[in-house]
């Protein structure tokens, strides 16, 4: 389980992967513009700063609005970094990175991620996407016609079950939906 350490103001100071190899040292909480809240961080892998591999132009910010983070896959090869704008997959075998495209503003829409077998799944408020860890192909499902996504409930090799909300008769209603992976469409991964 990912560990999050807090300071006296109840703001996180560190986010640490379950195997204690990846660490986000939180330097500050910033609003660069229009309510877009971000954590300014140093990313450490096995106590070595890897900001130069993860971030571009010293823009060392991660999304602040996540509900859950799954930072390392079961093999302990791949590590997830919710960088602002694009997510980043860090491969510990060869110290390489793979940036993962998202069509919108990740800061406002990112909810959580989850590793499942050979998949990295990302949940945004309006989209579910997964990256095949072997092929690095990205697949997406646009959820906006159903409502706003909240949480991943269950995953199996065929489908993902999610919790979402919508409005019915002017009241917020929380529902669940199962989506088969076969209906996801391959997406260009521009990152």
Structural domain span for residue 137: 3-143
Residue 50 domain-assigned (yes or no): yes
Nearest to 113 by CA among 125, 121, 105: 121
| pLDDT tens sequence across 41-100 | 999 999 999 999 999 888 898 887 776 889 999 999 999 999 887 899 999 999 999 999
Residue carrying structure tokens 């529902």: 175
Quick one: pLDDT at residue 85?
79
Global pTM exceeds 0.85? yes
Q: What is the pLDDT of residue 191?
A: 44
52's enclosing H/E stretch is helix 51-54
Tokens of 191: 């990152």
Name the pairing type of β-strands 3-6 and 138-142. unpaired
Spatial separation of the C-alpha atoms in residues 152 and 163, rounded to whole Å:
6
**51 within some domain:** yes
Q: How far apart are CA 167 and CA 11, in angstroms?
A: 32
Asked if 80 contacts 72 with a C-beta cutoff of 8 angstroms, the reply is: yes
In a domain, 162, yes or no: no
CATH (domain of 30):
2.40.128
Cβ distance 100 to 115 under 8 Å? no
Greater confidence (158 vs 8) lies with 158
28 within a domain of the structure (yes/no)? yes
172 assigned to some structural domain: no
Q: Which pLDDT tens digit goes with each residue over 120-134?
A: 999 999 999 999 999
Query: Which residues, including other chains, have CB under 8 Å from residue 40's CB and lie 6 or more apart?
Result: 26, 27, 28, 29, 30, 60, 61
What are the tens digits of pLDDT across the range 159-175?
Answer: 999 999 999 999 999 99
Query: Which of the residue ranges 15-29, 60-74, 102-116 has the most confident prediction, judged by mean pLDDT?
Result: 15-29
Domain count, the chain: 1
Is 151 inside a domain boundary? no
Q: How many Cβ atoms sit within 10 Å of the Cβ of residue 128?
A: 21
């Amino acid at each position: 389980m990912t560990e999050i350490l807090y300071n006296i103001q109840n703001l996180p100071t560190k986010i640490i992967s379950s195997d204690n190899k990846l660490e986000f040292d939180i330097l500050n909480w910033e609003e660069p513009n229009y309510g877009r809240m971000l954590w300014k961080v140093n990313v450490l892998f096995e106590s070595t700063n890897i900001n130069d591999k993860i971030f571009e132009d010293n823009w060392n910010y991660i999304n602040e609005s996540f509900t859950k983070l799954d930072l390392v896959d079961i093999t302990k090869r791949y590590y997830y970094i919710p960088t602002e704008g694009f997510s980043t997959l860090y491969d510990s075998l060869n110290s390489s990175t793979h940036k993962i495209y998202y069509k919108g503003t990740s800061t406002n829409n990112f909810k959580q991620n989850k590793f499942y077998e050979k998949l990295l799944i990302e949940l945004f408020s309006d989209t579910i996407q997964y990256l095949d860890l072997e092929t690095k192909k990205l697949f997406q499902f646009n959820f906006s016609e159903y409502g706003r996504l909240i949480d991943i409930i269950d995953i199996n090799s065929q489908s993902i079950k999610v919790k979402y909300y919508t409005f019915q008769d002017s009241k917020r209603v929380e529902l669940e939906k199962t989506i088969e992976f076969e209906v996801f469409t391959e997406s260009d991964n521009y990152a």
